[in-house]
Amino acid sequence: MNRVVDISSIKLSCRSCSLSELCLPRGLSDSELDDLERMMKQGRPIRRGEPLFRVGDPFHSLFAVRSGSIKVHLPTVNGEEQIVGFHLPGELLGLDAMGHEVHTCTAIALETSSVCELPYRQMQELCHQFSGLNEQFLSLISKEISGEHEMLLMLGKKNAEVRLATFLLNLSARFKARGFSEREFNLSMSRHDIANYLGLAVETVSRLFTRFHDEGVLQVQRRLVMIKDIQQLRAIAQVSDKNCPAAAR
């Protein structure tokens, strides 16, 4: 089964990475990319359920998802936890810990995933040298913040139906931006994760999937989702023109 491939020998290259337009390299020159690639470390792939970092772990690197998907959550005293984001390839992890000693949240792989490690000190030095990199970095940060604002709006004002529809449309747009189908995709997260993220009970999410299915909006087979009527889904999500176009996040 296991072909012997030394994964660490695969040269990490931003230039050959399909995500460069979403990720940090966006807008960099060739020589700048060289330096960026030199700085990056590739760890071993993380398997489903394994942590990339945990609350309280010392912070020294940011991470960019290269493949797979990763959930980020805050554990609480009661044992309950709140998922604050699902990260797809090209998205950054660990921003909440910048300028602090330790991570304030936990990142767990939803499937076998690989990440590019960006040692924070070196990253800062590179940002210092290349203003373009710094700009793209801050731009990604601000997207993170506005994305979280949208999420606050969801949890504060929207009912269960709107939340799930918005969630699916958001995923759809992000898959599309990554060259995948916007109509048909596999959810890497469980119903439990979705419910947790959306502030709902698992049963409510399950019932909504069934309802959307019955209404002909979706076709759902376990974790495979096919969007049958995207206009209707948008109507349910109450999207305005403003929210609709871009691949948010």
Partner DNA sequence: CGGCCTATTGACGCTACTCAACATGAGTGG
Partner DNA sequence: CCACTCATGTTGAGTAGCGTCAATAGGCCG
Q: Is the dihedral of CA 99, 103, 109, 112 positive or negative?
A: positive
Q: Out of 6, 30, 80, 214, which residue is the one contacting a copy of itself (CB under 8 A)? A: 80
Cβ 188 to a copy of itself shortest distance, Å: 20
Q: How far apart are the first and last CA of the chain?
A: 38
Interface residues for a copy of itself in 222-241 (CB under 8 A)? Answer: 238, 240
Q: What is residue 9's three-state secondary structure?
A: helix
Out of 32, 34, 144, 161, point to the residue binding a copy of itself (CB under 8 A).
144
User: Rounded CA gap, 238 and 81, in Å?
Assistant: 28
Residue 81, SS3 per DSSP: strand
- The option from DNA, a copy of itself, none interacting with 138 (CB < 5 to 8 A, set by class) reads a copy of itself
Beta strand pairing call for 70-75 and 81-87? antiparallel
Nearest approach, Cβ of residue 74 and a copy of itself (Å): 5
Quote the least distance from Cβ 77 to DNA, whole Å. Answer: 16
Q: Is the CB of residue 91 less than 8 Å from the CB of residue 113?
A: no
Residue 162: CB minimum distance to DNA, A: 8
How near is the Cβ of 161 to DNA at its closest, in Å? 6
Task: Report d(CA 58, CA 238) in Å as an integer.
Answer: 41
> Given the rule CB under 7 A, which of 51-59, 97-105, 204-212, 238-246 is the region that contacts DNA?
204-212
In angstroms, rounded to a whole number, what is the distance separating the alpha carbons of residues 172 and 229?
Answer: 13
Residues that bind a copy of itself (CB under 8 A): 74, 76-78, 80, 82, 84, 95-100, 104-105, 124, 128, 131, 134-136, 138-146, 148-153, 155-157, 196-199, 238, 240, 242
